[in-house]
Amino acid sequence: SQQGEEDPQALSIQEGENATMNCSYKTSINNLQWYRQNSGRGLVHLILIRSNEREKHSGRLRVTLDTSKKSSSLLITASRAADTASYFCASIGAGSYQLTFGKGTKLSVIP
């Protein structure tokens, strides 16, 4: 399966700033999900946005979806050092049930 692209590949910000990560995908999707991975650990599901939704919030997270551009963004507001991790988007194609992961963004939040 093809992987999507994410940018930036790495992002370093100061604590308290906002972090924005972008993701693009190639095919029509059923939904798109964002995951977080701490170094050497498994993935933690953050948020799911369906293809008929344009924006979703969860705490300090805001996800947008633009199906016309086949892209999504994840915004983390008021970042904390504990937000330091890699963030992956993953899409489920229409008629499929398999996740196709993006390449990920490594976020470093400096205290």
Q: Does 11 bind another protein (CB under 8 A)?
A: no
SS3 assignment, position 29: strand
Minimum separation from the CB atom of position 36 to another protein (A): 10
Distance between start and end Cα atoms, the chain? 38
Q: What is the DSSP annotation of 42-82?
A: -EEEEEEEETT-SEEEETTEEEEEETTTTEEEEEE-S--GG
Q: Judged by CB under 8 A, which of 25, 33, 83, 107 binds another protein?
A: 33
Minimum separation from the CB atom of position 3 to another protein (A): 6
Segment interacting with another protein (CB under 8 A) among 21-29, 43-51, 52-60, 68-76: 43-51
Contact between 29 and 102 under an 8 Å Cβ cutoff? The reply is no
Binding site residues, another protein, CB under 8 A: 1, 3, 33, 35, 40-45, 48, 88, 97-104
